[in-house]
Chains A and B, each alone.
Chain A
Amino acid sequence: AQSVAQPEDQVNVAEGNPLTVKCTYSVSGNPYLFWYVQYPNRGLQFLLKYITGDNLVKGSYGFEAEFNKSQTSFHLKKPSALVSDSALYFCAVRDWDNYGQNFVFGPGTRLSVLP
């Protein structure tokens, strides 16, 4: 079975500082990995994905994520945080137990960027 862990419920960072939101995963097949962001009272928005290729993937709004196969991690990063980055972030993997039809989401990490 696939699973996703986000070890931090909350991450606080000062505006202008680098941010990292952590994700580790367990999959039975190829790790198709995703990051989504949820702003208050909104749906989830796709940020970036890793399917294959370069371990460093770049996404929307200046975010990037590093795939590390040996550590089974896919941490989300941004070099300089903005107050507007404050939101709930979800890591997800494709669920290969159902022929890749579904996604398994982590519990979410709330990011607060302080001015």
Chain B
Amino acid sequence: NAGVTQTPKFQVLKTGQSMTLQCAQDMNHNSMYWYRQDPGMGLRLIYYSASEGTTDKGEVPNGYNVSRLNKREFSLRLESAAPSQTSVYFCASRMNTEAFFGQGTRLTVV
């Protein structure tokens, strides 16, 4: 039982490059989330998906797009990376009450 799996674990991008962060969960959860973690700021919600086929903006969506490909997978795309997007990104999923998190992607934009 893998839970929530994120790829890649580490990535370095140059300003202006694009990339997609992948997330998959095997718990048959309806809701999935993308957060970013910055020092002293906790986790901030980028986008979420309440169910397959739906996505909604969170607190900090600018510069990001998402796709809920199916019930298992929820990807996050950076179209033109900026240094301000240097962060640790976490994917999470939820069925009822608590959320379950992946191990994170450490992204550096230079």
- Give the B-binding residues of A (Cβ under 8 A): 4, 9, 32, 34, 36, 41-46, 49, 51, 90, 98, 101-103, 105-108
Is B42 a contact of A44 with CB atoms below 8 Å? no
CA of A39 to CA of B10, assembled, Å:
17
Pick from B65-73, B77-85, B98-106 the stretch touching chain A. Answer: B98-106
Contact of B41 with A by CB under 8 A: yes
What's the nearest-Cβ distance from chain A to residue B46, in Å?
Answer: 11
- Give the A-binding residues of B (Cβ under 8 A): 4, 31, 33, 35, 40-45, 48, 50, 56, 58, 90, 92, 97-104
Neighbouring A residues of B42 by C-beta, 8 Å: 4, 90, 105-108
The majority secondary structure among interface residues of chain B is strand
Neighbouring B residues of A102 by C-beta, 8 Å: 33, 45, 48, 58
Which residue in chain A gives the minimum CB-CB distance to B49? A101
Which residue in chain A gives the minimum CB-CB distance to B90? A43
Is A98 a contact of B43 with CB atoms below 8 Å? no
- Given the known interface contacts A44-B90, A107-B42, the answer about A98 and B99 at a Cβ–Cβ threshold of 8 Å is no
CA of A108 to CA of B37, assembled, Å:
10
Question: Please, could you name 30 A-B residue pairs with CB atoms under 8 Å apart, sorted by A?
Answer: A9-B40, A32-B97, A34-B98, A36-B101, A41-B103, A42-B103, A43-B101, A43-B103, A44-B43, A44-B90, A44-B92, A44-B101, A46-B99, A46-B100, A49-B97, A49-B98, A90-B42, A98-B56, A101-B31, A101-B50, A102-B48, A102-B58, A103-B43, A103-B45, A103-B99, A105-B35, A105-B44, A107-B41, A108-B40, A108-B42
Interface centre among B4, B31, B58, B97 (most CB of A within 10 A): B97
Neighbouring A residues of B48 by C-beta, 8 Å: 101-102
Neighbouring A residues of B50 by C-beta, 8 Å: 101
Neighbouring B residues of A4 by C-beta, 8 Å: 42
